[in-house]
Chains A and B, each alone.
Chain A
């Protein structure tokens, strides 16, 4: 009996976090900002903690290092990205509601990289892409989270 209890205890101790849906620090729901508002005027959200909420519509299948949140605005998504291994987002998160607290990051892409990035996005969506439509550098925005909660 003791052996069984010990085994159950150890399994829970070792594997307990497999089922956990809280990653990193606790999310702060008092800091929730609509994604559309952030993307409309990102500059006003730099160097401050903020929380986003939304449905998870895509998850990195290789490293679990990013998730795309659906925005409150139609056809808009926002990426939450961590350094590999810091948090590993499960594929089972897709379609669920989640919160992420962290800081906004701006990634500047010179024209050449912007073309590659937009080409990749178009390929993913099975759409045609014309590099001539990219007239210059672009900036993309993402959230570097300190905490994520998947409901």
Chain B
């Protein structure tokens, strides 16, 4: 039950990866600068009340500097556009972990657990057909769901480019 929920909920989340970020939530703050001089890391920290430690800075262009802080915080200061853009990326609760399981990014023993779960689902699907005996082998309702289950992916393949 737990695994089915994890896989199905993260499945929905991952299906819409083009519309949202299923792994991370990104906090963004924009700020307009009043001076066009290069800022020190302390000035950037003060500007956005950042408490995380400064890690490094990278000059993207002569007028654009990217500052890196701990806890996935970055600030891009553009002295030409007179803007400062703050971004803090944090893991989406539940989804980050569930997606990692779903995408099999967890190595170690996890792929084998996922394989075992898949085999159990296959056995459940096949054995479930024969639980209720009928003169046609399986019940008409089972035939309907069985046909639909094969028909939908077959139809879908014509739309796959």
Q: In chain A, residues 1-55, which have Cβ atoms closer than 8 Å to a Cβ of chain B? A: 10, 13-18, 55
CB of A95 within 8 A of CB of B55, answer: yes
Q: Is B58 an interface residue (CB 8 A)?
A: yes
- Which of B66, B85, B108, B113 gathers the greatest number of chain A CB atoms within 10 Å? B108
Q: In the bound complex, what is the Cα–Cα distance between A94 and B100 (angstroms)?
A: 20
Contact partner, A91, options B81, B85, B89, B103, Cβ 8 Å: B89
CB of A17 within 8 A of CB of B107, answer: yes
Q: In the bound complex, what is the Cα–Cα distance between A126 and B24 (angstroms)?
A: 22
How distant is A103 from chain B, measured CB to nearest CB, in Å? 24
Q: Is B72 an interface residue (CB 8 A)?
A: yes
User: What are the residues of chain A within 8 A of B69 when measuring CB–CB?
Assistant: 95
Q: Is A112 an interface residue (CB 8 A)?
A: no
Q: In chain B, residues 21-80, which have Cβ atoms closer than 8 Å to a Cβ of chain A? A: 21-24, 26, 55-56, 58-62, 64, 66, 68-69, 72, 74, 78
CB of A57 within 8 A of CB of B106, answer: no
Q: Is B144 an interface residue (CB 8 A)?
A: no
Q: In the bound complex, what is the Cα–Cα distance between A98 and B26 (angstroms)?
A: 24
The closest CB in chain B to the CB of A15 belongs to B106
How distant is A33 from chain B, measured CB to nearest CB, in Å? 20
User: What are the residues of chain A within 8 A of B78 when measuring CB–CB?
Assistant: 126
Q: Is B17 an interface residue (CB 8 A)?
A: yes
CB of A62 within 8 A of CB of B21, answer: yes
CB of B55 within 8 A of CB of A75, answer: no
CB of B106 within 8 A of CB of A17, answer: yes
Contact partner, B106, options A14, A55, A96, Cβ 8 Å: A14
Residue count of chain B within 8 Å CB distance of chain A: 34
User: What are the residues of chain A within 8 A of B105 when measuring CB–CB?
Assistant: 85, 88
Q: Given that A17-B108, A75-B60, A126-B81 are known contacts, is A61 also in contact with B74, CB under 8 Å in the complex?
A: no
Q: In the bound complex, what is the Cα–Cα distance between A95 and B21 (angstroms)?
A: 21
User: What are the residues of chain B within 8 A of A61 when measuring CB–CB?
Assistant: 21, 23-24, 26, 89
The closest CB in chain B to the CB of A85 belongs to B103
Contact partner, A92, options B56, B58, B66, B72, Cβ 8 Å: B72
User: What are the residues of chain B within 8 A of A85 when measuring CB–CB?
Assistant: 103-105
Q: In chain A, residues 45-100, which have Cβ atoms closer than 8 Å to a Cβ of chain B? A: 55, 57, 61-64, 70, 74-75, 77, 85, 88, 91-92, 94-96
Given contacts A74-B59, A88-B103, 8 further A-B contacts (CB under 8 A): A13-B108, A13-B109, A57-B58, A57-B68, A62-B17, A75-B59, A91-B24, A125-B60
- A selection of 10 A-B contacts at a CB cut-off of 8 Å is A10-B109, A14-B109, A17-B108, A61-B21, A75-B61, A85-B104, A94-B68, A95-B74, A126-B78, A126-B83
A-to-B contact residues, CB < 8 Å: 10, 13-18, 55, 57, 61-64, 70, 74-75, 77, 85, 88, 91-92, 94-96, 125-126
